[in-house]
Structure 1
Amino acid sequence: MDCKYLVPENELREMKNFFENRDFAEAMEGVKKCLEDIDQVPLNIAVTGESGSGKSTFINVIRGLNDEEEGSAKTGVVETTMVPLPYLHPHHRNVRYWDLPGIGSPGFKPMDYLQLVKFNQYDFFLIITTERFRECHVLLAQAIKSMGKKFYFLRSKIDSVLKGCRRGRTNCNEDEDILKKIREDCINGLRAGGIENPRVFLLSCLEPEKYDFYLIQKTLEDELPSHKRHIFLLSQPNFFHQAVEQKRKSFLMQIWQWAIVSAMNVTTSQWSGVNSGSTVPYLSSNGDLTLMVNVLKEYKKAFGLDTRSLNQLADTFGKDLEDLRSVIRTSTASQEITLELVFHHLKSQGLTDMGRIVTACVIQFVPQISALANGGVAFGTTYWILSSLLANMAEDAARVLSRALEASD
């Protein structure tokens, strides 16, 4: 069997690069640290704008919550935020969206404002308005830039603007023409205020699958430091097929690291003279199964296949929950992920032979893996099962999203 069909070339290159110039023990510890750091890296996103600009609603939507759900940001036309309020992502507690006090009051002083909201704790700023960007937005952006942080302009409630243009007697007959004029008006106004090359994203929190919602997600992902990119991507709602695919690719690049940890579990138990007691050949007892359960649970939440996420998706697109569930085909996506479920899957697949094949392929490019002895087969087995179930869950997520989007056409 051709190895490239089992392990993608880019993963083999990453493994090879990781093991080069490191001794075996150092490489093993490095893998464990990489996985630990991903779950611990903090991401703080500041959301600011005038009162009534839709800051709180945006924070709820991008976290996959509705305005009435527990943990949602308070919404209303009256400014409800007098101090910076952090809102944690429901699945990734190290990702925080901060609802900052409103700007635009007479005598607004951006440097005083940034000091008040503790400027240095944020990774970047999102500046939101429902109409044209005003002087207060320009002054704030200039102050943010002078202090070495990035900012992005969001024009919210675009759905309302489009409805108004369709009702009015204007020359805007097509939505694309209207959007183009809105974008150009925003950009020209910001340039006139002294902002060079402003980037403006047009959004609707009532129709998040439309306009620039995915574009702002992709832009932020691309411009974040590499160590924060993964956690930001996983925290995004599944409104777009491109996002589902990006999550699959990001998870795929971690699987070899989880497989290394699995192999280390086996090797360590052999060195210590411990009988693993596992009824799955070449896996340690509950260590590897627990690892797989935890990783698969992370996949399920990131792809929005857990009950809470499915409920939210159904509410967002006016779809019946059971209709969304009806297109899910994988047991790990449709059932609670337990040790028993993973064990049954492992036993039913006859994975030991496949584990040997995957390990043999990897050793051709990364010979250091051979030092894991029988743990090398655990490496191949864990790699194969996680990559297979990842592909299945991603396909389920794509089917669910397609069914949800049918209701919005």
Structure 2
Amino acid sequence: MVEDFEVAIFQGQLADAVSHVLAKPLHFFNSTPLNIAVVGEPGSGKSSFINAMLGLHADDPRAAATGIQMTTLQVKDYPHPTLPQVILWDHPGKGTPTFGEDKSEKKADLNQFDFFFIVGSQRFRSTHSDLVHEIQDMAKNFYFVRTKADLDLSAAKRQQPSDYNEEKVLLHIQEDSKECLVREGVRDPHVFIVSNWEANRFDFPLLQETLKNDLLRLKRQVFLHRFPSICLPILEKKKASVKEKIWTSRLCLLVTLGSPVPFLLPMFLFSKFRSWCFLDFGLNDRSLAALAQRVGKTSTALKAAMQSLGMFSAILWVLPDLVGLSVMAYEYHRWEHFPIFGCLLSGGVSLLRTYFMLQKCILGAADDTQRVLSKALEAEGGKSI
């Protein structure tokens, strides 16, 4: 079934397409896959946490490998048994070889996931701070999960047996975690204190219920993040449609642009074609203004996302025409007859240049459509749950 936003994208009505998507009821996003990465330092209990979330014992063949030594060396997926289209990913601990040292590599590695459980034990570390910033830079969300609550309580009881109060200890751990997250720029952080071996105690039931309640909103965010990519097949059809228009109704433009004439005329006509192409894709000033108003941004911000062939770059593409013109001038003055060879060379170069210019213009407009949509929806996709 063709969705209404797909029709709007094909017709170059970006504001209408975004409006259709934002107006979708939450149940529309139920079939959207949600990939949740469980990240943190080695030994924090990530694999055991996944098993607890899935309701599996460590000796179950479907369970994530656990142990005293580091067991997770590669990313592995675990579909959730009851939450539809939810996949938990056991990620190697930060600081392991998989993460590497290059920050850009780490970001690209995490970018394939939609949501995160940052798992930590004992205290908030620089590892968690780095992960928080990487996730925020991607405009995505996370829960912070403090594991090994049973061990924390045992340690607190040994240290102060006469003044031991389980509720106070747990409250102190949660408040300390929240304060650390707030210092990292997180507003209204979600913190859960759990024990992987006692899934019915502490915040584990609350965590599972919260994830269940947030699920459709999280999937909506995922859909909005992926929306530019979802539109790719539509834009492919759009490019084919625009190319067909070129070779039919715009054939005269191609011939004129490819003729061996001074390059100011081709530049003027290319500017007209570029404007027409932007209008067809919904990237003209009026369309961008309507889109900007719909998403609460400025047209300038949306235009800044566009990277397609500009007029200065187009001038560089036209410069090879001077070679043909030079040959024409030399042939005319050297042999004093009509520059047949120069005209053929100039026309051939110009037609070849024109073909690639128009193709690049169409491809650039399609890519710019994705960039503009991504920029328009970044605030919606990054809203806190």
Q: Which has the larger radius of gyration?
A: 2
TM-score greater than 0.5 by the shorter chain: no
TM-score scaled to structure 1, two decimals? 0.42
Higher relative contact order (CA 8 A, sep 6+): 2
